[in-house]
Amino acid sequence: MTKDIAVRRLDPADIAAMRALNALYGDAFEDRETYRADRPDDDWLTRQLGMPTVILLVAEQDGEVVGGLTAYDLPKLEAARSEIYLYDLAVAAAYRRRGIATALIAELQHIAAETGAWAVFVQADYGDDPAVALYAKLGVREDVMHFDLPPLPRR
């Protein structure tokens, strides 16, 4: 990784960095509608950034967010441990292939060890070859199916 890139965890005072990360996600995932249209207000972001189970990491160069990840610490009930779900990971196009994604994941793995998490897990889409290659380099692949179940109002 380039020496002038710093990785850090966001806290409740980092609203601007969180907004920059969402913009980066919108660009990287080519999904600006999701990440920019229905923007949460500052109070919502402050609350989320203050939750110990919400892990937001950014990679910055000269104060600019050039990469980041969103993860969630999920407590388990069958054992006194948790698992961390790496939900989103992106690096700005101009900064890819410099080890930034690997550095972000390594920091998440350090947090997992510090909090006693049993594992970090992540999903990748078929056809997203760069993501699959990165995750295969860092961990063990499991073939699973993913289902989105809609919320159902009570009648």
Q: What whole-number distance in Å separates Cα of residue 46 and Cα of residue 117?
A: 24
What are the domain boundaries of the chain? Answer: 5-138
Dihedral sign, CA of 55, 141, 119, 6?
Answer: negative
Q: What is the CATH number of domain 5-138?
A: 3.40.630.30
For the stretch 87-110, pLDDT in tens is 999 999 999 999 999 999 999 999
What's the pLDDT band for 42 if we cut at 50, 70, 90? very high
What's the pLDDT band for 133 if we cut at 50, 70, 90? confident
For the stretch 10-36, pLDDT in tens is 999 999 999 999 999 999 988 887 776
Q: What whole-number distance in Å separates Cα of residue 88 and Cα of residue 56?
A: 10
Ramachandran category for residue 76: left, alpha or beta (phi over 0 → left; psi -120 to 50 → alpha): beta
**What pLDDT does residue 137 have?**
77
pTM of the model: 0.86
Residue type, 152: L
**What pLDDT does residue 127 have?**
79
For the stretch 145-155, pLDDT in tens is 777 778 788 98
pLDDT at 122 over 80: yes
pLDDT at 45 over 80: yes
